[in-house]
Structure 1
Amino acid sequence: MTEPTQSTVVWLTQAKYDELKAELEELRGPTRSALVKRVSDARDEGDLKENAGYHAARDELGKLDGRVQQLVDMLERAEVGETPADDGVVEPGMKVTVKLVGLDLEETFLFGAREMAGDDIKVYSPQSPLGQAIDGAKRGETVTYTLPNGKDQKAEIVEAVPYVG
């Protein structure tokens, strides 16, 4: 297996890594066993074309297998570390507020992996255009990144603090 490149690394705290690993074990073990049994029981009910329970269980099993694969991939690429220092430098694991220059708009988000966050905060990855521009920048600095329409956008780092979500 090859080492993950910086652009494919998923930064996770030890606590989040442990949580995702536990979820994977639960999904691969008891949850999958129960779902396979539901598929088998529904299959035994007869005509599969008309058996909604069978099709629902199969769909659920497909979703579970997709989540298992997502977790396996993420955990293989994970770089586990502690919460970053509160030094105003943007790095994965920080809650960042930027002011989009010229748009009179501020945006606060988690800089890192979606799996680190709850549903209440946006996430920008280090691989995104904004993420690449702000990685390593300090509070008060202004960076420039390219928007999907090809135009350049300036963003001032207003705040960068460890995410404790």
Structure 2
Amino acid sequence: MTSSPPIWLTTHAREQLEAELTELLAAETAGDPETADTQDRLAARHQRTARIAHIRNLLSNAVFGEDPPDDGIAEPGMVLTVRYDGTDDTETFLLGSRDAEHADLEVYSPDSPLGAALTGARRGDQRRYQVPNGTEIAVTLLDAVPYGHTVTTA
């Protein structure tokens, strides 16, 4: 298995993924009470095995509980505010893993078209990205702050 680049996760997101992994492993060891394997059971087992491998890989490559530096540069773990150029529309979202929930923030992966375009941008930088229908969209990074500065944990 090839290793993935590090992905940023909140502590809460890590806990969610660990809980899901525990459930999947319990289901894997419990097995099916019936001995006959149907196509549906085989497919479900294959999906479960793939998800277990994905979560293990994600957790082994995760950086969690650490905020990136508060330097205004867009990178995983930062909450970004962008303006869609040519409009007054702004959006605030977390640049991080979409595999787990992060409070009430929308999450964009650094591998998504928008996330990839913004990674490395500084406040005021304009970047362009392409949406699936081929349209190119321009956005300006208005702000980039560490996730821990925007969300208080109980």
Q: Same-fold call, TM > 0.5?
A: yes
2:97 to 107, 113, 132: 113
Secondary structure of the structure 1 residue equivalent to 2:99? helix
Code of the aligned partner of 1:121 = L
Instruction: Say what the alpha-carbon RMSD is for the aligned residues.
Output: 3.3
Q: Does 1:122 align with 2:119?
A: no
Code of the aligned partner of 1:97 = T
Alignment size in residue pairs: 147
- How big is the shift at 1:133? 1.5
- How big is the shift at 1:9? 2.4
Code of the aligned partner of 2:17 = L
Structure 2 Cα separation of the partners of residues 67 and 79 of structure 1: 16
Structure 1 Cα separation of the partners of residues 100 and 125 of structure 2: 25
Q: Does 1:9 align with 2:14?
A: no
How do 1:37-76 residues align onto structure 2 when only pairs under 5 Å count? 39-40=32-33, 64-76=48-60
Code of the aligned partner of 1:20 = L
Greater C-alpha radius of gyration: 1
Counterparts in 2 of 1:116 and 1:162: CA distance versus 1, 3 Å: farther
1:89 to 65, 69, 73: 73
What whole-Å deviation, never above 9, does each CA across 1:66-109 have from its counterpart, x for those lacking one?
A: 43233134235x24252112221110011111100013211111
Name the structure where helix makes up a greater proportion of residues.
1
Structure 1 Cα separation of the partners of residues 132 and 147 of structure 2: 27
Query: So what's the TM-score if we normalise by structure 2?
Result: 0.70
* Contact preservation (8 Å) 2:9, 2:96: no
- How big is the shift at 1:55? 10
Structure 1 runs (4+) deviating above 6 angstroms are 54-60
Query: So what's the TM-score if we normalise by structure 1?
Result: 0.67
- For residue 83 of structure 2, what is the aligned residue in structure 1? 99
2:24 to 22, 27, 32: 27
Q: Which has the higher mean CA deviation after the structures are superposed, 124-133 or 79-88?
A: 79-88
Structure 2 Cα separation of the partners of residues 24 and 134 of structure 1: 31
- For residue 151 of structure 1, what is the aligned residue in structure 2? 135
List gaps (5 residues or longer) in structure 1: 49-53
- How big is the shift at 1:120? 2.8
List gaps (5 residues or longer) in structure 2: none
Structure 1 Cα separation of the partners of residues 137 and 44 of structure 2: 42
